[in-house]
Amino acid sequence: MKQSYHTIIKPTPAGCFVGWVEEVPGTITSGRSLEECRENLRDSLQLMLETHRDEARQNLDASCIEEAIEIEVREAPASVH
């Protein structure tokens, strides 16, 4: 299953890039190039989601109901620089 997330990548004065995922606090990374930052974001997001899922499932028992939900998320307006 593929899901989409929104990222923000900001160039730094040192010529590197810092990026984070809007929907998952704590998912932040950097890279020496834009592509490296994007790849690091994918890795960081994957790790965060796996960690959150593992933590959430620690107390599962037979009484728990597992199911997926879908929501509509409005796009944030583009910011003006």
pLDDT tops 90 at residue 58: yes
Q: What is the number of structural domains in the chain?
A: 1
Question: What's residue 14's pLDDT?
Answer: 96
What residues contact residue 9 under an 8 Å CB cut-off, 6+ apart?
17, 18, 19, 34, 37, 38, 41
Q: Is there a domain that residue 77 lies in?
A: no
Mean pLDDT of 22-27: 94
Q: How confident is the model at residue 3 (pLDDT cuts 50, 70, 90)?
A: confident
Q: Is there a domain that residue 21 lies in?
A: yes
Which two three-digit tokens encode residue 55? 């933590």
- Distance of alpha carbon 65 from alpha carbon 67, whole angstroms: 7
Q: Is there a domain that residue 49 lies in?
A: yes
Global model pTM greater than 0.85? no
What residues contact residue 49 under an 8 Å CB cut-off, 6+ apart?
24
Domain containing residue 29: 7-56
Question: What's residue 76's pLDDT?
Answer: 73
